[in-house]
């Protein structure tokens, strides 16, 4: 019997897996330079954390969670997103009592029971950032700029940024009511009519053409913002422009999670096929209170690692990543293996990238492996070399070969490579 990865999941295999690492590194580097500390939270949490923190009316909670009962009878859920767990950890460790904002970044696996397709998986990974405990348009702008810088550092040119404001608890209720009144007059199916009553903003996010066509005249949140929200949003926009980050206003941009307020944004890429979002986020001033904490205005984002690699592929950026190997060791025989093994270890400790031929192949097979390895030098040891107390060092680009005394080969190779 053989096995396959479960539906909606896949393996990152070399050499392509190098790009997953490069994306995690590229998207997190700007955060680390901006004072964000690294946080790692559990892959599963109390189910109630997500049902309260993400919201019962969202697709995530109502349809997409991997929920199970532990042996101890507790309901646990594989995390579908990162923000709720990070906020839980901030509150549990009392970080809200220290200097604010608390700035954190993370990277890991997330799980959603979705209809699997290209770019939409049941297990995917994100790099995320959260800035907890401050209401300051510069913080919203900082996070957006850092994400844009991350994409740019990866070489991506086709990432577009959409921004919007969803208002606050002062102005959102009136907008919500106006939207509801509009939506009640449309021809919608039963589940969508229910959604109109529970979470009308999310209807704006409906992707079906027959629904979209009816939304043309829907009232826009931007026409209903209170003075404070308007001023805040203007400030964010001004800071983005000042930092040289291009954006487009999208008054229909809402996000799937219930806890967003004010600033929301999404990064899109048009080379992904069925979907276009590579990342998104926004301000979530209400989340802390929803999960039992004090008022803690916060802002954050999550960028999809898998889709970012797909976007890079669409832009032709996934060239071959050269395997960085300095030396490939070729022992010919058992005694040679015994002698060359400590040299390999010593070279690695000296900081060189070194691999060796395994499995006792003959000269021909081993030299083929050396060529294929992409190494700059081969270090070949046969019985005759051992007798002579030397090892052959072959430059694999020029094919020049010289005998080097065994006692000196580590220093010689260190000198050549540095
Ligand atoms: P979508 O509208 O595509 O369903 P979303 O709004 O559910 O996205 P978020 O919860 O904002 O996505 O997650 C942030 C990012 O994580 C997305 O922009 C995307 O790049 C990535 N992402 C989300 N769900 C998946 C998934 N099922 N497979 C791969 N990547 C995903
Ligand atoms: Mg989704």
Q: How far is the CA of 140 from the centre of ligand 1 (A)?
A: 20
Q: Do both 25 and 132 map to the same domain?
A: yes
Closest ligand 1 atom to residue 267 Cα is 18
Residues lining ligand 1, Cβ inside 6 A: 81, 112, 114, 120-121, 124, 126, 255-256, 275, 277-280, 302, 304, 306-307
Q: Is 81 annotated as a binding residue?
A: yes
The full DSSP string for 114-125 is ---BTTB-SEEE
pLDDT at 321 over 70: no
Q: Is residue 150 part of a domain?
A: yes
DSSP state of 256: S
Residue 229 β-bridge partners: none
pLDDT at 48 over 80: yes
Q: Is residue 201 part of a domain?
A: no
Tell me which residue of 114, 158, 76 sits closest to 256, measured CA to CA.
114
Tell me which residue of 156, 126, 160 sits closest to 267, measured CA to CA.
160
What's the Cα-to-Cα distance from 105 to each of 54, 130, 255, 282, 303, rounded to whole Å?
Answer: 19, 6, 21, 15, 11
Q: How far is the CA of 256 from the centre of ligand 2 (A)?
A: 7
Which of 138-142, 200-204, 374-378 has the lowest average pLDDT? 200-204
Calculate the CA 263 to chain-centre distance: 21
Q: How far is Cα 416 from Cα 212, in angstroms, rounded to an integer?
A: 64
Q: Is residue 399 part of a domain?
A: yes
Q: Is 401 annotated as a binding residue?
A: no
Q: Is residue 244 part of a domain?
A: yes
* Domain boundary pick from 262, 284, 314: 314
Q: How far is the CA of 348 from the centre of ligand 1 (A)?
A: 40
Render pLDDT for 34-46 as a digit per residue (tens, 0 to 9).
Answer: 999 999 999 999 9
Q: Which helix (H) or strand (E) holds 27?
A: helix 17-33
Nearest-CA residue for ligand 1 atom 16 is 304
Q: Do both 131 and 273 map to the same domain?
A: yes
Q: Is residue 212 part of a domain?
A: no
Q: Do both 98 and 243 map to the same domain?
A: yes
Q: Do both 131 and 278 map to the same domain?
A: yes
Q: How far is the CA of 312 from the centre of ligand 1 (A)?
A: 17
Question: What's the first-to-final CA gap in the chain, in angstroms?
Answer: 49
Q: Which of 124, 277, 283 to mutate to test the pocket of ligand 1 (most atoms within 8 A of CB)?
A: 277
pLDDT at 279 over 70: yes
Q: Do both 137 and 249 map to the same domain?
A: yes
Which of 103-112, 137-146, 263-272, 312-321 has the lowest average pLDDT? 312-321
Handedness of CA 315, 30, 9, 260 (dihedral sign): negative
Render pLDDT for 158-210 as a digit per residue (tens, 0 to 9).
Answer: 999 999 999 998 998 999 999 999 999 999 999 999 989 988 888 988 889 99
Q: Residue 56 sits in a domain of what CATH number?
A: 3.30.930.10
Q: How far is Cα 86 from Cα 223, in angstroms, rounded to an integer?
A: 33
Instruction: Say whether 54 sits in a helix, a strand or coil.
Output: coil
Q: Is 260 annotated as a binding residue?
A: yes
Evaluate whether 414 touches 352 at the Cβ level (below 8 Å): yes
pLDDT at 59 over 90: no
Nearest-CA residue for ligand 1 atom 17 is 279
Closest ligand 1 atom to residue 112 Cα is 27
Average pLDDT value for the chain: 94
pLDDT number for residue 257? 66
pLDDT, average across residues 126-133? 98
Q: How many Cβ atoms sit within 10 Å of the Cβ of residue 205?
A: 16
Q: Do both 151 and 236 map to the same domain?
A: yes
pLDDT at 126 over 80: yes
Q: Is residue 1 part of a domain?
A: no
Ligand closest to CA 108: 1
Q: Is residue 207 part of a domain?
A: no
Q: How far is Cα 112 from Cα 185, in angstroms, rounded to an integer?
A: 33
Calculate the CA 61 to chain-centre distance: 21
Q: How far is the CA of 185 from the centre of ligand 1 (A)?
A: 31
The total of structural domains in the chain comes to 2
DSSP state of 204: T
Closest ligand 1 atom to residue 266 Cα is 18
Q: Do both 366 and 230 map to the same domain?
A: no
Q: What is the dihedral of CA 221, 208, 83, 50, to 10 degrees?
A: 110
pLDDT at 250 over 70: yes
Domain range for 91 is 16-171+225-314
pLDDT number for residue 22? 96
pLDDT number for residue 360? 80
Evaluate whether 152 touches 145 at the Cβ level (below 8 Å): no
Render pLDDT for 16-40 as a digit per residue (tens, 0 to 9).
Answer: 999 999 999 999 999 999 999 999 9
Calculate the CA 373 to chain-centre distance: 30
Q: Is 151 annotated as a binding residue?
A: no
Strands across the sheet containing 401-405:
354-356, 327-331, 377-381, 390-395, 401-405
DSSP state of 135: -
Q: Do both 231 and 361 map to the same domain?
A: no
* Domain boundary pick from 289, 314, 339: 314
Q: Is 83 annotated as a binding residue?
A: yes
pLDDT number for residue 362? 86
Q: Residue 374 sits in a domain of what CATH number?
A: 3.40.50.800
* Domain boundary pick from 290, 314, 338: 314
CA atoms within 13 A on the CB side of 108: 20
Q: Is residue 294 part of a domain?
A: yes
Q: Do both 248 and 353 map to the same domain?
A: no
Evaluate whether 236 touches 140 at the Cβ level (below 8 Å): yes
pLDDT number for residue 322? 63
Handedness of CA 292, 258, 303, 33 (dihedral sign): negative
Ligand closest to CA 277: 1
Nearest-CA residue for ligand 1 atom 9 is 280
pLDDT, average across residues 339-356? 97
Q: Do both 24 and 136 map to the same domain?
A: yes
Q: Is 126 annotated as a binding residue?
A: yes
Most confident option among 55-69, 227-241, 357-371: 227-241
Nearest-CA residue for ligand 1 atom 22 is 304
Q: Do both 279 and 375 map to the same domain?
A: no
Q: Is 106 annotated as a binding residue?
A: no
Q: Do both 230 and 125 map to the same domain?
A: yes
- Give per-residue burial for 148-181: e unless 16+ CB within 10 Å, then b: bbbbeebebeebebbbbbbbbeebbeebbebbee
């Amino acid at each position: 019997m053989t096995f396959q990865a479960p539906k909606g999941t896949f393996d990152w295999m070399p050499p392509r897996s190098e790009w997953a690492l490069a994306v995690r590194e590229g998207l997190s580097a700007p955060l680390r330079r901006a004072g964000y500390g690294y946080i790692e939270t559990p892959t599963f949490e109390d189910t109630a954390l997500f049902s309260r923190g993400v919201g019962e009316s969202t697709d995530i909670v109502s349809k997409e969670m991997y929920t199970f009962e532990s042996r101890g009878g507790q309901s646990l859920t594989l995390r579908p997103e990162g923000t709720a767990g990070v906020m839980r950890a901030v509150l549990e460790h009392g970080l809200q009592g220290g200097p604010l904002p608390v700035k954190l970044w993370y990277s890991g696996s997330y799980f959603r029971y979705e209809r699997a397709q290209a770019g939409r998986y049941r297990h995917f990974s994100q790099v995320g950032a959260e800035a907890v405990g401050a209401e300051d348009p510069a913080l919203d702008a900082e996070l957006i700029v850092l994400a844009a810088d991350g994409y740019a550092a990866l070489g991506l040119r086709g990432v577009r940024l959409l921004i919007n404001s969803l208002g606050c608890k002062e102005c959102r209720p009136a907008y919500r009511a106006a939207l509801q009144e509009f939506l009640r007059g449309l021809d919608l199916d039963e589940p969508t009519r229910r959604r109109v009553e529970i979470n009308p903003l999310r209807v704006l996010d409906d992707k079906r053409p027959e629904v979209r066509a009816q939304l043309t005249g829907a009232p826009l949140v931007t026409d209903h913002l209170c003075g404070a929200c308007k001023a805040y949003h203007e400030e964010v926009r001004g800071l983005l422009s000042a930092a040289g980050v291009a954006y487009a206003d999208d008054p229909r941009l809402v996000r799937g999670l219930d806890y967003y307020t004010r600033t929301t944004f999404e990064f899109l890429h048009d080379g992904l096929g069925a979907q276009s979002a590579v990342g998104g986020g926004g301000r979530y001033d209400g989340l802390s209170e929803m999960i039992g904490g004090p008022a803690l205005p916060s802002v954050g984002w999550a960028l999809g690692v898998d889709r970012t690699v797909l976007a890079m592929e669409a832009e032709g950026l996934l060239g071959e990543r050269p395997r960085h190997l300095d030396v490939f060791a070729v022992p010919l025989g058992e005694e040679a293996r015994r002698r060359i093994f400590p040299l390999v270890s010593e070279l690695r400790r000296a900081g060189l990238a070194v691999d060796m031929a395994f499995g006792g192949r003959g000269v021909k097979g081993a030299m083929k492996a050396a060529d294929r390895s992409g190494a700059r030098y081969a270090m070949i040891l046969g019985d005759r070399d051992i007798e002579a107390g030397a090892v052959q060092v072959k430059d694999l680009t020029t094919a020049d070969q010289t005998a080097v005394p065994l006692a000196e080969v580590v220093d010689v190779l260190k000198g050549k490579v540095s």
